[in-house]
Amino acid sequence: MVITTINIQLFQILRQKLGDKEAGALVGFVDAKLKDSNEQNLKVVATKEYLAYTKAEMIKWMFIFWIGTIGVLSGIMTLLLKAYIKH
């Protein structure tokens, strides 16, 4: 358990109502739950490195999509031009 001013104040308040042992256990429990919650939140937070990686991946896939689209449209245009020239 990390001892902070808030933990000490909480312990002092709870000690008057619950006693030393129970107050210490409750403060430790609350501290552990907050630490777990903070660790879970840090796993969700996007870092600058992750955002840069995501941006690079999006650009790569957009480029691949554009090349594919241009290839398909070029093929269709070629077929249409060949059909038009034959008539």
More confident residue, 13 or 53: 53
Q: What is the pLDDT of residues 26-49, one digit of tens each?
A: 888 888 888 888 777 777 777 888
Best CA proximity match to 2, nearest among 40, 28, 23: 28
Ordered DSSP codes for 38-49: HHHHHHHSPPHH
* DSSP per-residue letters across 68-85: HHHHHHHHHHHHHHHHHH
Contact, 35 vs 43, CB < 8 A? no
- 0.85 exceeded by the pTM? no
